[in-house]
């Protein structure tokens, strides 16, 4: 059983809850390694199509790096193979991941959320990359992902000052998909997950792979002509036939994921 998180399977949806509320769900190297293994399980399981990650309690999604643990270890960051939260250095996952942000998402906690495909935020959520204020930098992808996801000047304003941004401002800036009341957070995240599950899973993965690859640069024509293994899998799948057939027969499709 995981020690630093809880997991739940419900149909096609896999929910991961960071479970260190006594330290605002901040993460130390053992927790990051464990979360990496948990998301390895998600990626490898064909029965799971969407993941939701959240934090235990209502105070924090994750306060980021466990600075007290780091200080006690002489400053060693102990970077996990798949990065912070098992997500920030992961490039092998084309299944959607949703961040359900309850409370504080600081530093590495915000970087976990930025590494997800959607961010659903509670009204009490607060986002920041405050690393420069403590002699660090957002090394888990925050410096790269935030300028990709919102206008550059707004991103630099957050990165260079470490200022805190509310859920509402995050929505206005464009890195939050939806803001809901605290009690509605997980139901809202599940609603988004269910809408994704209603789609053909191989189509979803092909879409994610193409969209993420386009962020590396290049023209539309260049990106369209790249070889994508997830697109090849979609074109060869039973679902590629099932979708049009279900449409013609005026019924809901029965996706196989193969």
Expressed as residue numbers, the domain containing 224 is 201-248
Q: Are residues 190 and 206 located together in one domain of the fold? A: no
In the structure, what pLDDT confidence band is assigned to residue 78 with cuts at 50, 70 and 90?
A: low
> Which residue, of 179, 197, 215, is where some domain finishes?
197
Domain count of the fold of the chain: 2
What string of H, E and C letters represents the secondary structure of 28-78?
CHHHHHHHHHHHHHHHHCCCCCEEEEEECCCCEEECCECHHHHHHCCCCCC
88-92: average pLDDT: 93
122 phi and psi angles, rounded to 5 deg: -70, 155
pLDDT digits (tens, 9 = 90+) for 195-254: 999 999 999 999 999 999 999 888 999 999 999 999 999 999 999 999 999 999 999 999
Q: Is residue 30 part of a domain?
A: yes
Q: Are residues 140 and 79 located together in one domain of the fold? A: yes
Per the structure block, which two tokens stand in for 205?
């993965």
Give the residue from 120, 129, 146 showing the smallest Cα distance to 215: 146
The per-residue pLDDT of the chain, averaged, comes to 94
- Host H or E run for residue 106: strand 104-106
CA–CA gap between residue 227 and residue 234 (Å, rounded)? 13
What residues are annotated to the active site? Answer: 111, 131
The CATH number of the domain where 75 resides is what? 3.90.226.10
CA–CA gap between residue 146 and residue 143 (Å, rounded)? 6
DSSP characters for 160-203?
HH---EEHHHHHHHTS-SEEE-GGGHHHHHHHHHHHHHTS-HHH
In the structure, what pLDDT confidence band is assigned to residue 61 with cuts at 50, 70 and 90?
A: very high
Q: What is the pTM of this model?
A: 0.95
CA–CA gap between residue 49 and residue 193 (Å, rounded)? 9
Q: Is residue 254 part of a domain?
A: no
pLDDT reading at 79 higher than 80: no
Tokens 């690393």 belong to: 131
């Amino acid at each position: 059983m995981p020690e630093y998180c809880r997991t739940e399977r419900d149909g096609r949806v896999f929910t991961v809850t960071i479970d260190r509320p006594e330290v605002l769900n901040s993460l130390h190297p053992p927790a990051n390694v464990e979360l990496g293994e948990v998301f390895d399980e998600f990626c490898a399981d064909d029965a799971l199509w969407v993941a939701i990650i959240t934090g235990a309690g209502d105070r924090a999604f994750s306060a980021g790096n466990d600075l007290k643990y780091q200080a006690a270890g002489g400053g060693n960051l102990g970077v996990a193979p798949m990065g912070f939260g098992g997500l920030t250095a992961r490039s092998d996952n084309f299944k959607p991941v949703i961040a359900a942000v309850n409370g504080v998402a600081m530093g590495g906690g915000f970087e976990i959320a930025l590494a997800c495909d959607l961010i659903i935020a509670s009204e009490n959520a607060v986002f920041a990359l405050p690393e420069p204020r403590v002699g660090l930098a957002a090394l888990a992808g925050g410096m790269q992902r935030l300028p990709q996801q919102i206008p550059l000047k707004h991103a630099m304003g957050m990165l260079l000052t470490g200022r805190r941004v509310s859920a509402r401002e995050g929505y206005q800036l464009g890195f939050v998909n939806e803001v809901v009341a605290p009690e509605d957070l997980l139901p809202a995240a599940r609603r988004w997950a269910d809408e994704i599950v209603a789609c053909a899973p191989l189509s979803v993965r092909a879409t994610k792979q193409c969209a993420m690859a386009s962020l590396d640069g290049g023209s539309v024509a260049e990106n369209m002509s790249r070889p994508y293994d997830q697109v090849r899998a979609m074109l060869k799948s039973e679902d590629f036939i099932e979708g049009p057939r279900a449409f013609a027969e005026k019924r809901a499709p029965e996706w196989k994921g193969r």
